[in-house]
Every structure is written in C-alpha cells, then in structure tokens.
Amino acid sequence: MFDIPEGMVYLNGNSLGPMPKKAPEAINTFLMDEWRTELVKGWNTKNWFIKSNLLGDRIGSLMGAANGTTVVGDSLSIKVFQAVAAGLAMAPKRRVILSDNGNFPTDLYMVEGLINLRDDYRNSRKHDMKSIIAKAHSVGATVVWDMAHSIGALPIDVTDTNTDFAVGCTYKYLNGGPGSPAFIYVAPRLLNTVEPALSGWFAHEAPFAFDLNFRPTPSKIDRMRIGTQSMAAFTLLETALDIWDEVNLDDVRSKSIELSEFFISEVESKCHGLTLVSPSDPNQRGSHVAFQFENGYECMQALIAQGVIGDFRAPDIMRFGITPLFINLDDIEKSVTILSEILTNKIWKKPEFQKRSLVT
C-alpha cells in the first residue's frame, strides 16, 4: 500500500512516513472533482468546513478517544501551544511546568514562549501514562501528552488513562505526508471549560455571524479549531488513514517488537562499536531503536548512500524506525549487513560523508 523506491530499506517512518500508493489519485480527485468544479461551494458540498472534525474522529479512534474530542489542523507546535495554554488556564495559581527530561525541544520552545507571554523522542522510552496522570491529578496538576512518536506505533487509550490533553503530528507513523496537519485531543470533561488561547474564527460559536467579539463554541472540540486549513493536506491525510482502517494496532505492536528485537540482536552481534540507548526491554520501548556511535552522522550518511534510510540526532545517536506496515525481517537483515560492512571497512570515513546537511 506504500510507494517505496525499489531496493530501499526505509527505516525512518518515525520521522516521515512513506507515500501511500493511492495518494496521487486522491490529490488529483481533489483538484479536478472538488476544487475545480465546486470552488467555494466545496465548504458545504464536500464537507471541507467540518473536515477537521471528521479526520479528528478517525485519529481519535486510534487512541481510544470518543467522537467529538479530537480535531485536526495546524502544526504540532501550534497544538502544543494550545494544549499547554489551556492547561495553565485551568490551574492559574500554579507556577511550575514540569517536562520529561527527554522531551522534544520544540515542545520546550513553545512552553518558553508561553512563560514569556504570562510574565523521548531520542531513545524511544515509553511512559506509564496511567500512573503519571494519576500522580499529577492527585496534586492538582494537568498533563499534556505529545504523541508524535506513539500514534500509529502502539495501542493508546486516552479514555482509560483519564488523559487531559493529547497532541501529535500525522506525518510520522500515520503517513500523512511532509508537514501534514497535527491533532489535539481534549477530555470530554473539559470541553465546556477549556479556554482557547488562540481564538480563531473556526472556534467561534457562530463563525458566520462575524461578531467583533469572540464567543467560543460551547461544549465542543471545535473550541480548539483556529482558522482555515489546507484541504489538499487533509486529502492526503484522509488517504493515509484509509490504510489504518484495515490495521489492528495490537498486531502492529506485536510485529514491531518482533522486528525491533531481531534488529537489536543482529546489530549487537555483527556491528561492534555501537551502543544501544533505547530500553532493552521491548515493553519499555516504542517503535524506533536508537544506537550511540561517536561517528553516527557519518555512518548514517554512508547507510543512506546504500539505500538504508534512518536518521541522526546530535550529538551521536543513530535512529532506526521499525514500522511493520512496510518493513519485514528481510529488510532488517539487509540493513544490518550493510551497516556491518560500513563499520568493518570504515566506509563512513569517506570525505563525501563528512559534510553536514541542513536536515539530519
């Protein structure tokens, strides 16, 4: 169901998922049968205006969320801003924002910006959501979860864990395309009181009344919508989500563990000099595997040159996404064989692998 170049082993689905084979047909249908023929009528005739909600419910189903609690749109950074701002407004007397020490830097940048306004993405380590949330709630705190490396990788249940807020992107394991829109989830118990820090017109109780003052829509996830979104991007995401309609996440998780355990075993026996930094216990690990190597950047460039695509995170981490929808045991074996040859023959020392690109 995915269009991956022949001969390539793609171990980077944790950063950017591959293109669904039906994506070109879907985007062409949008161009020719929606935008071209409907023009502005499409907001009604093609449900563009509520597409944020329709796609939100489909993503929500992948994490145990009730319908009407998740919307899609904007970028992950914007959704982080929304969720954290809403959490701060719920506890105005609290003065501490606590972060996981392995948090993605962008999340921290957005929080820093919020602080100014108000006066484990590296190693794939999993968190016990239920116990963390219970502990936080016991002291009156609110928890925001960034699920960018979880959604589509392993089973999640935001209802069972009593999650307050969750955000995530759709271009990694969900395969929605480069820069595809993000999502935000708000617990049903908060929908009537959550304060939208970014009060866009799509979140207005009556957007086409064109009031001068903002009135958030009552008791709806629509409060977290902001403004006009890209229907072209929504079309590509919708096509990717069609694949997930045929997938059982428990099966995905089981296969991910099988493949990652094989990958780790093969690397540790054949690729000397690499140190596993992901948890060795698969039950404590997500769906990518990280190894530390002093010359990790150069080694990853050598791998990419031979058709094995992973990624690098400074200062010395090589990451490999284990994505069962399009990776099998043969791919793992092939990638380890090539990695071993690169290390044994020190191919990574070649001059062409020393130059740093903008994106690693």
- List 2, 104, 165, 293, catalytic entry: 104
Distance CA 41, CA 191 (A): 30
Tokens coding 52: 């944020």
Please choose, from the candidates 333, 254, 260, the residue with its C-alpha nearest in 3D space to the C-alpha of residue 14.
260
- DSSP secondary structure string for all residues of 39-50: GGGHHHHT-GGG
Residues 6 or more apart whose Cβ sits within 8 Å of residue 96 = none
Burial class of residue 83 in the structure, from the number of CB atoms within 10 Å of its CB (0-12 exposed, 13-18 middle, 19+ buried)? buried
- List 2, 10, 171, 293, catalytic entry: 171
Among this protein's residues, is 319 annotated catalytic? yes
Cα maximum dimension of the chain: 69
Tokens coding 17: 């998922």
- List 51, 122, 172, 223, catalytic entry: 172
What single letter denotes the amino acid at residue 95? R
Other beta carbons less than 10 A from residue 25's beta carbon: 11
Write the CA distances from 52 to 82, 149, 184, 337, integer angstroms.
Answer: 16, 21, 10, 44
Task: Starting at the earlier edge strand, list the strands of the sheet with 70-72.
Answer: 70-72, 183-186, 165-168, 144-146
Q: How many residues does the chain have?
A: 360
Among this protein's residues, is 171 annotated catalytic? yes
Q: Contact at 8 Å (CB) between 234 and 181?
A: yes
3-state helix, strand, coil in the chain (%, to 5): 45, 10, 45
Secondary structure class of 318 (helix, strand, coil): strand
Distance CA 205, CA 106 (A): 31
Among this protein's residues, is 57 annotated catalytic? no
Among this protein's residues, is 172 annotated catalytic? yes
Other beta carbons less than 10 A from residue 244's beta carbon: 20
Among this protein's residues, is 58 annotated catalytic? no
Distance CA 30, CA 236 (A): 10
- List 74, 107, 120, 146, catalytic entry: 146
Residues with catalytic function: 104, 146, 171-172, 319
